[in-house]
């Protein structure tokens, strides 16, 4: 099916905490079905192309905590698991012989620091791959089912590492509004445990190859690159403070 060129427009995600360029023709899935609070989901009207942004815990398995390439591959595998994909293949070639380590964005001492544009948006790690996914899941034997669809998947990963820089090491209270803060109970000062805002922000774009022309795939590839390069985190208060 031939579609009009995809013009990008800025969308405010998670209440404006993140800004991302999304094709103007994409529909906000939350307008017609429930979406988890940790996700923002958009799709074309025919469902051939979809975009998901989600806030996840920092993945620590298999060396992923210290290597972003391993981390994004782990997330790609998790997507395959959720899709019940019969096969998966990463087509991006990463030739470096050393790991790509995440970088701390700095430290904060108050909630106002987190929304004051003080901290940069981390650079994304990106990946492209394919998975074979059955559109409809069924209890019928595999040989009785139609063949799975080939789905092209683009993934971008931003690793958020923001340290609590308060002098006593206490959790920094969440702001209820601009003037008042909520009480934090059960927090002991100087417990020696590092705290901060740590998260993996993941954006995945799924393209059903059977319903998309090669020219349209290339267009998606181009706008995904532009969109992931220009994503901005505007308020780090989006991320919950946890122990490292």
Q: Is the domain defined by 8-93+101-170+194-243 classed in CATH 3.60.15.10?
A: no
Q: How confident is the model at residue 1 (pLDDT cuts 50, 70, 90)?
A: very low
What is the chain's alpha carbon radius of gyration, rounded to the nearest angstrom? 20
Give how far Cα 132 sits from Cα of 1, 16, 89, Å: 20, 34, 9
Least Cα distance to 69 among 15, 126, 21 occurs for 126
Rounded to whole angstroms, what are the CA distances from 65 to 57, 68, 90, 121?
A: 11, 7, 20, 18
Mean pLDDT, residues 91-109:
81
Q: Is 49 exposed, middle or buried (0-12, 13-18, 19+ CB in 10 A)?
A: buried
Q: What is the pLDDT of residue 100?
A: 84
How many Cβ atoms from other residues are within 10 Å of residue 126's Cβ? 16
What pLDDT sits at residue 109? 86
Residue 191 pLDDT: 58
Contacts of 41 (CB under 8 A, 6+ apart): 28, 29, 30, 35, 50, 51, 52, 53
pLDDT above 70 coverage of the chain, percent? 81
User: According to the model, what pLDDT value does residue 53 have?
Assistant: 99
Asked if residue 232 lies in contact with residue 18, where contact means CB atoms within 8 angstroms, the answer is: yes
Q: Domain ranges for the chain, please list them.
A: 8-93+101-170+194-243
pLDDT-derived band at 8, boundaries 50, 70, 90: very high
Cβ pair 27, 11 in contact under 8 A: no
Task: Please give the Cα distance from 140 to 75 (Å, whole number).
Answer: 29
Give the per-residue pLDDT at 148: 84
* 170-196 pLDDT per residue, tens: 666 665 444 333 333 334 445 567 889
Q: For residues 4-38, b (16+ Cβ closer than 10 Å) or e, as one string? A: eebeeeebebbeebbbbbbbeebeebeeeeeeeee
Most confidently predicted of 2-16, 35-49, 105-119: 35-49
Quick: pLDDT tens for 185-235: 334 445 567 889 999 999 999 999 988 889 999 999 999 999 999 999 999
Could you tell me which residues are beta bridge partners of residue 6? none
Residue 177 confidence (pLDDT)? 44
| Rounded distance between C-alpha atoms, residue 156 and residue 56, angstroms | 13
Q: What is the pLDDT of residue 211?
A: 83
Residue 102: Cβ within 10 Å count:
23
| More confident position, 100 or 179 | 100
Q: DSSP state, 4?
A: -
User: What's the mean per-residue pLDDT of the chain?
Assistant: 85
Reduced 3-state DSSP string for 73-118? HHHHHHHHHHHCCCEEEECCCCCCCCCCCCCCCCEECCHHHHCCCC
Is 90 exceeded by the pLDDT of residue 34? yes
Q: How much is the average pLDDT of 103-115?
A: 87
Q: Provide the pLDDT confidence category of residue 62 given band limits of 50, 70 and 90.
A: confident
């Amino acid at each position: 099916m031939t579609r009009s060129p995809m013009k990008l427009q800025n969308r405010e995600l998670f209440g404006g905490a993140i800004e991302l360029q999304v094709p103007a023709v994409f529909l906000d899935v939350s307008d017609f079905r429930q979406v988890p609070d940790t996700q923002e989901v958009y799709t074309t009207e025919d469902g051939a192309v979809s975009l998901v942004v989600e806030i996840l815990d920092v993945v620590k398995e298999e060396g992923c905590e210290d290597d972003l390439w391993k981390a994004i591959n782990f997330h790609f595998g998790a997507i395959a698991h959720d899709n019940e994909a019969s096969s998966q293949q990463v087509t991006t070639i990463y030739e470096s012989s050393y790991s790509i380590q995440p970088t701390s964005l700095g430290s904060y001492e108050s909630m106002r620091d987190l929304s004051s544009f003080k901290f940069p948006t981390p650079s994304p790690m990106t990946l492209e791959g394919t998975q074979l996914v059955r559109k409809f899941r069924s209890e019928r034997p595999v040989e009785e089912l139609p063949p799975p669809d080939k789905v092209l998947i683009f993934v971008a990963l931003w690793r958020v590492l923001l340290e609590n820089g308060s002098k006593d090491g206490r959790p920094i209270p969440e702001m209820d509004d601009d003037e008042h803060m909520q009480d934090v109970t059960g927090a002991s000062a100087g417990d020696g445990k590092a705290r901060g805002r740590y998260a993996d922000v993941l954006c995945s774009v799924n393209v059903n190859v059977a319903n998309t022309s090669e020219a349209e795939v290339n267009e998606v590839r181009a706008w995904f690159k532009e969109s992931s390069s220009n994503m901005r985190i505007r308020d780090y208060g989006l991320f919950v403070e946890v122990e490292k």
